[in-house]
Amino acid sequence: MNKIRKKDKVIVIKGRYKGKISEVVTVFPSKGKALVSKVNMVKKHLRPTQGNPGGIQEKESPISLSSLKLICPHCNKATRVGFKILDDGKVRFCKKCGEII
């Protein structure tokens, strides 16, 4: 079970985009990285094709999961994530307020 999942609201805690709050688009658990919207933007040079005029485009690049911290939907604070085992399975919870995420 991952601590950070798709559509989670996260804050970047280190690097060039430190302090930026955004939403997770995709998670790559095997690589330990996540794609976060409008964070870690890179420029990609594209060759012209029939459907594409080409040029320089900006797109997101994966960022390390260790550089991200989850924002709790209940207390709206950056928090660490813990796990609890309940009757219906394993669930994530906020370490600050104790609510289930």
Residue 90 domain flag = yes
32 within domain boundaries: yes
Rounded Cα distance, 20 and 17, in Å: 6
pLDDT of 50 over the 90 cut: yes
Does 14 reside within a domain? Answer: yes
Number of domains in the chain: 1
3 falls within a domain: no
pTM: 0.85
* φ/ψ of residue 65, rounded to 5: -65, -25
Q: Which of 9, 1, 4 has its CA nearest to residue 74?
A: 9
Q: Which amino acid is at 84?
A: K
pLDDT of amino acid 91? 94
CATH code for the domain of 90: 2.30.30.30
**Is the residue at 100 inside a domain?**
no
Q: Which range marks the domain in which residue 72 is found? A: 9-47+56-94
Band (88; pLDDT cuts 50, 70, 90): confident
